[in-house]
Amino acid sequence: MSVWRALRDFFAVQTELHERMALRDRPWEEEFLHWAGGELHGWRLPPPGRRIGTTRDGWCPAQGRQRVIRPSA
């Protein structure tokens, strides 16, 4: 592997980790509608010009988390 490719891969991983950390710091963005892992997550429309609650690769904090649906009383 060339040095340039190794650097590119390193920076791609760092960017992904930074985006994941930023999403963890903004849990309210999970409410915005977005696709992640082939499922529709969220329930609010994002404001105009606002990023969705996923990274560039499509990861979201709710992905893989067990959803509990509680019936309303």
33-67 pLDDT per residue, tens = 888 878 888 888 888 877 677 888 888 887 766 55
Ranges of each domain in the chain: 1-73
Size of the chain, expressed as the number of residues it contains: 73
* Nearest Cα to Cα of residue 52 among 14, 7, 22: 22
CA–CA distances in Å: residue 18 to residues 15, 69, 70: 5, 30, 33
Say if residue 71's pLDDT is above 60. no
Rounded Cα distance, 32 and 51, in Å: 9
Rounded Cα distance, 32 and 60, in Å: 11
Say if residue 19's pLDDT is above 80. yes
Say if residue 11's pLDDT is above 70. yes
Q: What is the pTM of this model?
A: 0.66
CB 19 within 8 A of CB 56: yes
pLDDT of residue 72: 52
